[in-house]
Amino acid sequence: MDTGEPRHIGPYEVLGRLGVGGQGTVYLGQSEAGRVAIKVIHAQGAADPRARRRFADEVSIASRVPRAYTAMIIDAAIDRDQPYIVSEYVEGPSLQRLVDNHGPLSGPALERLATYTATALAAIHGVGVVHRDLKPANVIIGPDGPRVVDFGVARALEATAVITTPVGTPGYLAPEQVGGADAEVGFPADVHAWAATMYFAATGRMPFAGSNVAVIINRVLNETPDVAVISEPLRSLIADCLAKDPARRPTTMELLGRLVGHQAENAQATVPRTRILSSVIGTLKETTTLGSGPAADIVIHGEGIAPAHATVRKVSAGYRLHDHSSGLGTFIDGSPVLYATLRPGDRFTIGTAVLRLTEAGELERVRLSRVMPPARWWLLLLLVAAVALMAIVAVTG
């Protein structure tokens, strides 16, 4: 670690730096209970009462969002000379890093990412919060699914507050965020940012790119991205969400409803005629390398499987899977993962091979007599839960 970095922040040991943003620096820390993320406000911001208020707002706002969709706040020290926030450390790459290193997503992986992030956005809006900086770098692909993080520029949407400050990352801002001081920024701006983020996930490119901020802002205001390279149903949905006029964009619940409705239709249209065949291919040791090469402890043949594709290590909670930036990648429930905790009964996919962990610590290779999409009834539950959450907020707020 850089000798200029702090060794401790409050009671937390600093293990390294995770990143630097406009508001502060984020460190990886160690607590008695495990690893944490520590966000420390920049020195110049610590002396600014407005920056301190924003920092305190971030604690309040992040604490209101259900923890399934973000990183849970564990501790905060707002009154210190240099304030900090301690949150749950979500192990995994950002969507930005995942796409930069492995390329764009497609098919079920992209659809699941879209649904999970839209559900997170519905939960965030359900507690009256506008994120205002949703982008690939703020979506963490954790072991249990995507999390939306960094509420440093988020604001609670109160009836007495009109938000006009153009804060965020230019390439993912909505036209009303960059088009003038009189524009009100609300939930539609986050819907626009969601679409821009999904565009990046599907293409590996920003929808509004440019050599400088002025060029980017001009494109946000005046140009329409080419969505032809994106497959339906996301193509038309992303196009609608990128509408210049906020009033023409779908609401968060309409967005989620269209995603869930399409996937439910696909599930109903598919006749379930599969037969599952499985065979044991090896037993996991303390540390086991999976891959197609001769050095692998368990050799697995198939398309997209690297010679040393992944490592599985025995831990107290089960087995810890680590993908080695390989081939077609490693997936759980259709979502790409670099790290994941496996327990008996769990299935995961490396390349084109579907594997299952047994109670005895064996790996079975699962083969289907006919490839079928998984049942999507649980997506309807997500929609029902989001509607219920917003209803509760409306009643109690």
Catalytic site residues? 133
Separation in Å, CA 184 to CA 187, 224, 346: 10, 21, 46
Which position has the token pair 């080695």?
324
> What CA–CA distance (Å, rounded) separates 246 from 47?
36
> What CA–CA distance (Å, rounded) separates 323 from 308?
9
> What CA–CA distance (Å, rounded) separates 16 from 366?
40
Handedness of CA 90, 91, 96, 98 (dihedral sign): negative
3-state secondary structure (DSSP) of residue 341: strand
Which position has the token pair 């559900």?
119
H/E segment holding residue 220: helix 213-222
Which position has the token pair 């989620």?
256
Looking at the DSSP bridge assignments, the partners of residue 336 are 331
> What CA–CA distance (Å, rounded) separates 108 from 224?
26
Which position has the token pair 């990352």?
169
CA-closest candidate to residue 45, choices 70, 20, 19: 20
Separation in Å, CA 174 to CA 154, 196, 294: 15, 9, 51
